[in-house]
Each structure stands twice: as structure tokens, then as C-alpha cells.
Structure 1
Amino acid sequence: EDAIEVTRRSPYGNMAVMFTDSGYAANKFKDTAGAGMIGINVGVPAPMAVFPFCGWKDSFFGTLHSNGEDSVRFYTEGRILVSRWF
């Protein structure tokens, strides 16, 4: 709950990362964190450079996302989830 609240209060929304052993907490964080790139148990949730840079809120500048199909989606908020479980 605290991690979600921190991401929702921030004026920026490029990425949010959470380390947890709980599948429930990871799912809730993924669905409610206010960021365009979500990481679960990974430090940086962008595994390859071809993934779109999909910052939300004040983290995004311009009218188009930089790569892939998001380049032609003008008013959408894309999201990427990268997670690792041990």
C-alpha cells in the first residue's frame, strides 16, 4: 500500500519498481502504480532498447512515444511489466 501511494503521489510516472515475494502484492502494484513501466523484482523494467519509453504524467514529453506501435497512438498510456520470481 505504501509503495503504491508513493507512486500515485509523485508528479512523475516513468517507472515504478517493487521487490516482493507476494504475488498478490505484485499484482496490486502492477494494476495501480502510477507509472508507464512497471518492474517486479527487477531493478530497471526495460529489458531491451526496442521497448517503448512510456512515461506517464510529467515524465512524458511530446505527442508520441519513441518506438514501435506506440509512435502512432496519440492519447494512450502504454504499460510494460517485467517481473522475475525465484
Structure 2
Amino acid sequence: YAQTLEEAIRQANAVAYGNMACIFTQSGRAAREFRERVQAGMVGVNVGVAQPFAFYPFSGWRHSFFGDLHPHGPDAFLFYTQRKVVVERW
């Protein structure tokens, strides 16, 4: 467990995978900084897992990315764009 926001971001970004990261906080500032700086394709704020709904058309960032194109619809044309889905509960 991370004791500081900086440590949480550092731990999340230190792994080779970038599929999902989440943070539990009461601070809007911490939530905003985490979701902007963490290197993950899906980000949860006060949610244990950003639910992989069918309309999330990509697999994540870094080594969590499978293949050479996003597999669903228009995202296949956005290969050079790193997208991020943020789910928050307040």
C-alpha cells in the first residue's frame, strides 16, 4: 500500500503493464493528479475496478496492449492515440 500520492503513482507506473489502476481518496486534487499522471488505459477513482464494459474498445497501455491495432470499430484508426477511461464515484 502506498503512503503518499507520489508513492501510489510511482508504484502504478513502475510495472510493465498499464491495463488498470485505481485510487481511493476524499481529495479531488489527489484524484485529478492520479488520473492525469498514472499510465493506465482504465483508471478507477473510489471504485475497486474500472468495469471492463463491452464499450471499452481497447485493452490498455504498455505491455497490456495486445496486437498492433485496437480490436473494435473506430479505435482501430486511433492506433497512435493513447486513450484513457476514468471511472469515479463520489
TM-score over 0.5 for the alignment? yes
SS of the counterpart of 2:87?
strand
Q: CA RMSD in A?
A: 1.4
Tell me which stretches of 4 or more aligned residues in structure 1 moved more than 3 Å. none
Q: Deviations over 1:39-67 (max 9, x none)?
A: 10111213622112241111112111233
- Please, what TM-score do these two structures have when normalized by structure 2? 0.84
Q: 2:48 aligns with which of 37, 43, 46?
A: 43
Q: Which amino acid aligns with 1:70?
A: D
Matches within 5 A, 1:9-20: 9-20=14-25
Sequence identity percentage: 51
User: How many residue pairs are counted as aligned between the two chains?
Assistant: 85
Gaps of 5+ in 2: 1-5
Q: Is the 8 A contact 1:51 1:68 kept in 2?
A: no
Q: Is the 8 A contact 2:40 2:60 kept in 1?
A: yes
Separation (CA, whole Å) in 1 of partners of 2:51 and 2:80: 22
